[in-house]
A and B are shown apart, each in its own frame.
Chain A
Amino acid sequence: MHTHRLQSSSAQFHSDPKIGRLILVSLVLHVLLVLVMSGTWFGPQRRDQAPVYYVDLVHKPVLDPQAGRPDPRPKAKPKPAPVKSVAVPQPPKVVEPKKPTVKVAKPAPPTVVKSELKPDPKSEQKLQSAIDAMRERQSRQAEIDALKQKLAGLQDTRAAAVPADVPVGMPTGTGDEVGVSMLAYIQEVIKQNWALSPYLLDQSRLASIEAKVSVRYATDGKLVGFRILKDSGDSQFDDSIKRAITKSKQLQHKLPQSTELTVVFNLKEMAEARR
Chain B
Amino acid sequence: MRIFWLLTLILWLGPWAATAATEIEISAPGEQTMPLALTSFLAKDGPEVAEIAGEINEVLAADLDLTGLFRFVDPAAFLSDAGRIGLYSTQVDFTQWRLLGSEVLIKGAYTLQGDQLIVEARLFDVINRRLLTGRRYVGRTKDVRRMAHTFADQILKTLTGETGPFNQRIAYISKSSGNKELWLMDVDGHQPIRLTDHRSIVLNPDFSPRGKELVFTSYRANNPDLERTEIYTGQEAKVSSQQGLNVAGRYAPIGRELAITLTKDGNPEIYLVGFNGSIHKRLTNNWAIDIDPSWSPDSGHIVFVSNRLGNPHLFIVNVYTGETRRLTTRGKYNVTPAWSPKGDRIAFTRQQGGSFDIYTIKVDGSDERRLTFGPGNQEHPRWSPDGRFLVYSSDAGGKKGVYVMRTDGTGARRLTSPESDSNHPAWSGRW
Interface residues of A (CB under 8 A from B): 25, 29, 32-33, 36-37, 39, 41-42, 45-47, 51, 183, 186-187, 190-200, 204, 235-236, 240, 242-244, 246-247, 259-270, 273-274
Contacts and interface: CB of A to CB of B under 8 A. Distances in A.
Given A29-B6, A42-B14, A246-B127, A265 B26 contact: yes
Nearest to B70: A197
B9 A264 contact: no
A243 B103 contact: yes
Interface string B251-280: 000000000000000000000000000000
A191 B26 contact: yes
Contacts of A37: 13, 17
A243 B9 contact: no
B127 A51 contact: no
Interface of B: 2, 6, 9-10, 13-14, 17-35, 67-70, 103, 125, 127-128, 159-161, 344, 388, 406, 408
B69 A270 contact: no
Nearest to A260: B19
A183 B29 contact: no
B161 A236 contact: yes
Contacts of B35: 195
B376 to A, nearest CB: 26
Contacts of A200: 69, 159-160
B98 to A, nearest CB: 8
Contacts of A36: 9-10, 13-14, 17
A264 B26 contact: yes
A37 B34 CA distance: 41
B17 A41 contact: yes
A187 B10 contact: no
B27 A267 contact: yes
Contacts of A204: 344
A254 to B, nearest CB: 18
Contact of B10 (A32, A47, A51, A196): A32
A259 B23 CA distance: 11
Contact of A39 (B20, B25, B29, B128): B20
Given A32-B10, A39-B20, A260-B19, A191 B160 contact: no
A46 B23 contact: yes
A37 B9 CA distance: 11
Contact of A195 (B21, B31, B67): B31
B29 A191 contact: yes
In the complex, the 9 A-B pairs of residues with the closest C-beta atoms, listed nearest first = A269-B28, A195-B31, A192-B30, A194-B29, A196-B29, A269-B27, A197-B69, A268-B27, A45-B21
Contacts of A198: 32
Contacts of B161: 235-236
A107 to B, nearest CB: 51
Contact of B21 (A39, A51, A243, A273): A39
Contacts of A262: 20, 22-24
Contacts of B388: 199
A186 B69 contact: no
19 contacts: A32-B9, A36-B9, A41-B10, A42-B14, A46-B21, A47-B21, A191-B30, A194-B29, A195-B33, A195-B103, A197-B32, A197-B69, A236-B161, A262-B22, A262-B23, A263-B23, A264-B24, A264-B26, A273-B28
A193 B29 CA distance: 8
Contact of A270 (B2, B9, B29): B29
Contacts of B10: 32, 36, 41
